[in-house]
């Protein structure tokens, strides 16, 4: 990964958790000038509004040098919004992410609208309880789900972020970045969990058909958080990709 030695690595977290969710994973990272884990909630508060587009615009001003993005879940949607705004992103890794999270005609294997509506209703009635439920949902399918869920629960967001979380659930329903994904001009790799109940591993062919230069790998015996339940495998796939493509 010699070409990446002078680059930064920027990790973008997903919905419901803080940027600290990366703490146990980035200890394995090396070979970069800097490793950055920005808080997307803080960036949302600095932005014109809380939309992914506005967050990406604010985030683009933070990127000072050539960088590799590692994105998890909806962090991937923000990353796709970011790509047209800067030439400093040289490669991107999507973890349990897709350019469109809601089932569409010709785009199955993601979240059904009724399931998303149910999550919205849960969150409206009981924010804290919904986040706890969510920690179980995203670790469902892991080889040791209770251990993974315990780890994730440490990094669930605090109550003051609830307005942003609610806004992002609505944004998730409307955001479709398939055209942007299809025309990416930089190396990319998608890592999926075999048993993910949100982003089904069957989506592999859809992703590779959408962008023939974007390879997709499935990690066995894990759900929506491969970097938590299978950190070594996830780390190895990232470095293999960077060694081959950067």
* β-strand partners of 94: 71, 190
48 falls in which pLDDT band (50, 70, 90)?
A: confident
Q: What is the mean pLDDT of residues 180-202?
A: 97
- Say what the pLDDT of residue 107 is: 97
Q: What is the mean pLDDT of residues 79-105?
A: 97
Collapsed DSSP state (helix, strand, coil) of residue 193:
strand
Give me 158's structure tokens: 């605090």
Residue 157 has pLDDT above 70, yes or no: yes
Strand boundaries in 155-244, DSSP class E: 188-193, 215-219
Residue 93 has pLDDT above 80, yes or no: yes
Average the pLDDT over each of 4-13, 119-128, 188-197, 237-246 and give the range with the smallest value: 4-13
Give me 55's structure tokens: 């967050």
Residue 73 has pLDDT above 90, yes or no: yes
CATH code given to domain 2-245? 3.40.50.1820
Higher-confidence residue: 28 or 24? 24
Q: Are 75 and 12 within 8 A, CB to CB? A: yes
- CA dist 185 and 85 (Å) reads 13
- CA dist 135 and 132 (Å) reads 5
- Say what the pLDDT of residue 227 is: 97
Q: pLDDT of 214-225, one tens digit each?
A: 999 999 999 999
Q: Which residue, chain included where needed, has tokens 């920005």? A: 38
Residue 87 has pLDDT above 90, yes or no: yes
- Say what the pLDDT of residue 29 is: 87
- CA dist 179 and 104 (Å) reads 14
Domain boundaries of the chain, sorted by first residue:
2-245
Q: Are 82 and 60 within 8 A, CB to CB? A: yes
Residue 17 has pLDDT above 80, yes or no: yes
Neighbour-count burial of 239, counting CB atoms closer than 10 A to its CB (0-12 exposed, 13-18 middle, 19+ buried)? middle
- CA dist 192 and 195 (Å) reads 9
Mean pLDDT (the chain) is 94
Higher-confidence residue: 159 or 245? 245
- CA dist 226 and 65 (Å) reads 28
- Say what the pLDDT of residue 2 is: 56
Residue 30 has pLDDT above 90, yes or no: no
Residue 1 has pLDDT above 80, yes or no: no
Beta carbons within 8 Å of 67's beta carbon, 6+ residues apart: 7, 8, 9, 10, 88, 89, 90
pTM: 0.96
**CA gyration radius, the chain:** 17
């Amino acid at each position: 990964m010699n070409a990446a030695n002078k680059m930064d690595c920027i990790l973008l977290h997903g919905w419901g958790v803080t940027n600290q969710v990366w703490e146990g994973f980035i200890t394995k990272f090396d070979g970069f000038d800097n490793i950055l884990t920005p808080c997307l909630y803080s960036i949302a508060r600095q932005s014109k509004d809380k939309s992914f587009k506005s967050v990406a615009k604010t985030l683009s001003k933070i990127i000072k040098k050539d960088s590799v993005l590692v994105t998890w879940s909806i962090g991937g949607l923000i990353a796709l919004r970011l790509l047209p705004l800067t030439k400093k992103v040289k490669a991107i890794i999507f973890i349990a992410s897709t350019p469109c999270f809601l089932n569409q005609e010709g785009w199955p294997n993601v979240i059904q609208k009724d399931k998303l509506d149910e999550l919205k209703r849960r969150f409206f009635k009981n924010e804290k309880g919904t986040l706890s439920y969510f920690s179980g949902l995203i670790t469902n399918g892991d080889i040791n789900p209770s251990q993974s869920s315990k780890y994730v629960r440490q990094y669930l967001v605090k109550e003051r972020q609830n307005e942003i979380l609610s806004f992002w659930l609505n944004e998730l329903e409307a955001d479709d970045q398939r055209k942007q994904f299809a025309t990416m001009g930089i190396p990319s790799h998608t890592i999926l969990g075999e048993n993910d109940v949100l982003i089904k591993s069957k989506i592999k062919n859809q992703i590779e058909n959408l962008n023939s230069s974007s390879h997709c790998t499935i990690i066995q015996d894990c759900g929506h958080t491969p970097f938590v339940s299978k950190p070594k495998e996830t780390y190895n796939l990232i470095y293999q990709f960077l060694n081959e493509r950067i």
